[in-house]
Amino acid sequence: MKKGLILILALGLFYTASAQETKIGFTNADYVLSLMPESKEVQSQVEAYEKQFSNSIQQKYQDFQAQVAEYQQNAPTMTEQVRAQKEQELQGLQQSLQKFQQDAEQSIARKQQELYQPLYEKIQNAIDKVAEENGYTHVLRAEALLYISDEDAGDISELVLNKLGVEAPDASATDE
């Protein structure tokens, strides 16, 4: 009986000691990214790239609409065979337009990922350094937290911003 009690106490002390060694922090990488000066440049590059596709899609759509209008105007005078051929042609154009739009969306997503990747790597390196310098054993994404009793305890976002050389906005100005 005494051995069991001693074992339980020893395990309890071991658990308490190991729990004290754990230091958990969290940060919001998207928040940090939004304050980085480089993110504005990357965002403008993404928007410019997106605008190129948007202009092309808009032009292709206008051309398609013009062909549909022409078809509708001339359909009553067309033979059945010509009308069927023209309808098939218009369906092909519509499918081509939809494929172009899907390909454009995928291309924009790839470009966005390509441009933002170095910034996220920079943020990750800063998180790693802050964690090491401050003894954090775990750093979580703030978005992954389901519950935290004290929102300020463990938030390392300002430390990460400082490590990146980015000035954090004044907290009192955002609270008002």
CA distance 148 to 155: 11
150's tokens: 């004290």
pLDDT band at 175 (very low <50, low <70, confident <90, very high): very low
pLDDT at 9 (0 to 100): 52
Beta strands in 1-133 (DSSP E): 24-27
Which residue from 104, 12, 117 is spatially nearest to 54, judged by alpha carbons? 104
Q: What is the pLDDT of residues 12-68, one digit of tens each?
A: 545 544 555 888 899 999 999 999 999 999 999 999 999 999 999 999 999 999 999
Q: Is the pLDDT of residue 112 over 70?
A: yes
Report pLDDT digits (tens) over 120-162.
999 999 999 999 999 999 999 888 877 776 666 788 888 899 8
| Direct distance between the N- and C-terminal alpha carbons of the chain, in angstroms, rounded to an integer | 61
The 3-state DSSP class for residue 156 equals: coil
Short-list 152, 160, 153, CA closest to 29: 160
Instruction: With beta carbons less than 8 A apart as the criterion, state whether 116 and 153 touch.
Output: no
Q: What length does the chain have? A: 176
What pLDDT does 172 receive?
52
Of 139, 160, 107, the C-alpha closest to 24 is 139
- Max alpha carbon distance in the chain (Å)? 103
Report the pLDDT averaged over residues 70-92.
Answer: 93
Tell me the pTM: 0.69
Looking at residue 22, what is its pLDDT? Answer: 86
